[in-house]
Amino acid sequence: MAQKSKYVVGNWKAQLTPDACASLAKELSGLKSPSDCNVWVAPPTTGFNSVISTLKGTSIKVGSQNVWPKSGAFTGETTLASLKEIGASFSLVGHSERRHVFGESIALTEDRCLGALAENFTIIFCVGETLTERESNQTNKIIENQLSGVITRATSEQKKNLIIAYEPVWAIGTGKVATIDQIAVVHAFISTMTGGSLPILYGGSVTPENFGEILNVPNVDGGLIGGASLKVESFSKLVQLAV
Ligand code: PGA
């Protein structure tokens, strides 16, 4: 049986100005685009114009770091309609920085995700436990709380556009990558919860040095990468490992 294509998704967070986004996109556009790997990037919204136009014609897809499904009086939001119009292909929802730095609730992340899925938009829905939650053996319970609303309410047709990212909060941007066993256990749990049909990405201090091993873990379909996606050298190494 042919292997499922892997995902290498760069999350540029709020790390780059529009000019810096344009330079990185220009460097990425020179990469040989592999057809058997999903290479996606999520720049800050202020960088969209240049990134989308520069990557047009390559196989690299561009998405946003959050989405709100409705247009209207929603100050500060990035709407689904505008993402579609500029040619964005996907959005992250529920990233740990949205949940923990900006206080987004489970209900809000569900509304964002289900609203976008209902409009045939692809969502990478992020889940993950804090260190305190892991140390008090609550990891599975936390993941279940964050994920179950989306899983039970999305239709099977809508789930075709749904990707899950497991990102332990304590591993994000800290250099502390989860162990292979920890990743295997949570990915197996998510796979069971989601009926084994959705791609599941790992995120949290992924680098070219650890990604090969992580990709070999059962139920890992790729990575959601912050720091190592900001330099073309490391990002292209990640892509090579996933091909
Ligand atoms: P990191 O970020 O690779 O810098 O740990 C991952 C993420 O937040 O998606």
Cα 35 to averaged position of ligand 1 atoms, centre (Å): 24
Amino acid in the structure at residue 219: N
**How buried is 33 (Cβ within 10 angstroms: 0-12 exposed, 13-18 middle, 19+ buried)?**
middle
Per-residue pLDDT of the chain (243 residues), as tens digits, is 445 699 999 999 999 999 999 999 999 998 876 778 999 999 999 999 999 999 999 999 999 999 999 999 999 999 999 999 999 999 999 999 999 999 999 999 999 999 999 999 999 999 999 999 999 999 999 999 999 999 999 999 999 999 999 999 999 988 888 999 999 999 999 999 999 999 999 999 999 999 999 999 999 999 999 999 999 999 999 999 999
- What is residue 46's predicted lDDT score, i.e. its pLDDT? 95
Cα 78 to averaged position of ligand 1 atoms, centre (Å): 21
Cα 164 to averaged position of ligand 1 atoms, centre (Å): 15
CB 11 within 8 A of CB 229: yes
CB 164 within 8 A of CB 125: yes
Q: Annotated active-site positions, please?
A: 95, 167
Element (H, E) at 86: helix 80-86
- Of the residues 172, 201, 230, which should be mutated to test ligand 1's pocket, given the most ligand atoms within 8 Å of the CB? 172
Q: Whose CA is nearest to atom 2 of ligand 1?
A: 226
CB 83 within 8 A of CB 43: no
- What is residue 1's predicted lDDT score, i.e. its pLDDT? 40
Q: Whose CA is nearest to atom 7 of ligand 1?
A: 226
| CB of 204 sitting under 6 A from ligand 1 | yes
- What is residue 231's predicted lDDT score, i.e. its pLDDT? 97
Question: Please, which residues bridge with residue 63 across strands?
Answer: 90
Cα 81 to averaged position of ligand 1 atoms, centre (Å): 27
Ligand 1 atom closest to Cα of 165? 9
CA distance from start to end of the chain? 16
- What is residue 133's predicted lDDT score, i.e. its pLDDT? 96
pTM: 0.96
| CB of 224 sitting under 6 A from ligand 1 | yes
Tell me which residue of 14, 44, 40 sits closest to 28, measured CA to CA: 40
Ligand 1 atom closest to Cα of 207? 3
- What is residue 3's predicted lDDT score, i.e. its pLDDT? 59
